Amino acid sequence: MTTEAPADARGRTRRGRGDSRRGDSVFFNLSRGSGILLLVIMAAIAGFLAYRSALALSKNEGNFLTTFEWAPDAAKPVFGIAVLTFGTLVSALIAMLIAVPISVGIALFISHYAPRRIAQPFAYLVDLLAAVPSIVYGLWGVLFLVPHIDGLTSWMDQYLGWTYIFDQSSKGVPPRNLFTVGILLAIMVLPIITAVTREVFRQVPRMHEEAALALGATRWEMIRTAVLPFGRPGIISASMLGLGRALGETIAVATVLSTNNKLSLHLLDPGGGTFAQNIALKFNEAQPFGRDALMASGLVLFVITLLVNGAARMIIARRKEYSGAAA
């Protein structure tokens, strides 16, 4: 004769409740261990980069922050990140100025304007762009974008050259410059920003949209008063995720950009450089000390990326405070 374990008020046996608690404990410990492991890995990367950077900076004959030249393997090592910082930030800024408005427009079209039979394939097509390898973008950029963007750069030089920034001083040369790189990066980050923004717009409470329409608002007025305010933090977060991709892009930039050690505000002139591109091009040919110098530049990019992602996390945390969540 067997006896059953007594059940609680909800019909669960004590043994089953104990198993559930044991499972919760195991899952909690695994989750906490994974989080700690991630922090350990990040700290190890930062420590390694900091150690190798200190070895290089201790023998640097120039100012690491303001020197234009990159010659760590010379008899007197001289290297700095002025050109790399300028090129990285400017190309990423151009990419964001182009990609963010287009991404928001595509996300609104998919979530609020296009019929379902059109929206789903269109969304799939945009998401598919994120799966294209960087080298493919780079080859497309150097074989198609560079030869065909010459008309645009000539037009900008003619009508916007008075701004100095778009004054093309080196005429008749292929436009392998920061402006072209910015356009290429905009195409690469567009699917990331679009996908996140689209999902944010889909979370707008239906009652808010219907209330705006019931008060006589047009579709655009409903989007302007209900959808965009709700999705603004999500748009910013998506933009920062795209910015992180633009800052760290390597192969595509190295394929398109014509590098030099000159810092020029003429964005249509060839030249410039970025952190990731400089590391990719010079790592194999660098001597041990030169690789330490590249590690120092990598540490700067690491810190910039952490700041960008940290800002994105802060915005997401703020978002929770006044989220109307899927009401």
pLDDT at position 324 is: 44
Q: How far is residue 166's CA from residue 185's CA, in Å, rounded to a whole number?
A: 19
Per residue in 56-73, pLDDT tens? 888 888 888 888 888 888
Per residue in 160-184, pLDDT tens? 888 888 888 877 788 888 999 999 9
**296, 84 contact by CB (below 8 A):** no
What's the angle, vertex CA 204, arms to CA 199 and CA 207, rounded to 5?
150
Q: How far is residue 120's CA from residue 150's CA, in Å, rounded to a whole number?
A: 35
Residue type at 101?
Answer: P
- The 3-state DSSP class for residue 142 equals helix
Instruction: Indicate if the alpha-carbon torsion angle 123, 124, 125, 130 is positive or negative.
Output: positive
Question: Which of 9-18, 139-148, 218-227, 278-287 comes out lowest in average pLDDT?
Answer: 9-18
Is the pLDDT assigned to residue 5 strictly greater than 70? no
**pTM for the whole thing?**
0.84
Between the alpha carbon of residue 296 and those of residues 57, 134, 279, 304, the distances in Å are 8, 24, 10, 13
Per residue in 14-55, pLDDT tens? 555 555 678 788 888 899 999 999 999 999 999 999 999 998
Instruction: List phi, psi (to 5°) of 66.
Output: -115, -10
**256, 142 contact by CB (below 8 A):** yes
pLDDT at position 15 is: 52
**278, 65 contact by CB (below 8 A):** no
By C-alpha distance, which of 273, 281, 282 is closest to 251? 281
Query: In the structure encoding, which two tokens stand for residue 120, read together?
Result: 């789903």
Q: Which residue has the tokens 């009652």?
A: 207
| Chain-centroid distance, C-alpha 73 | 32
**What is the pLDDT confidence band of residue 91, given thresholds at 50, 70 and 90?**
very high
Residue environment code for 27-64, b if the CB has 16+ CB neighbours within 10 A, otherwise e: eeeeeeeeeeeeeeeeeeeeeebeebbeebeeebebeb
Question: Which of 130-134, 141-145, 292-296 comes out lowest in average pLDDT?
Answer: 130-134
> What mean pLDDT is predicted for residues 279-300?
89
> What mean pLDDT is predicted for residues 95-103?
94
Is the pLDDT assigned to residue 101 strictly greater than 90? yes
pLDDT at position 18 is: 57
Query: In the structure encoding, which two tokens stand for residue 277, read together?
Result: 């591109």
Residues 6+ apart with CB under 8 A from 221: 212
Q: In the chain, what is the straight-line distance between the N-terminal and C-terminal CA atoms, in Å?
A: 53
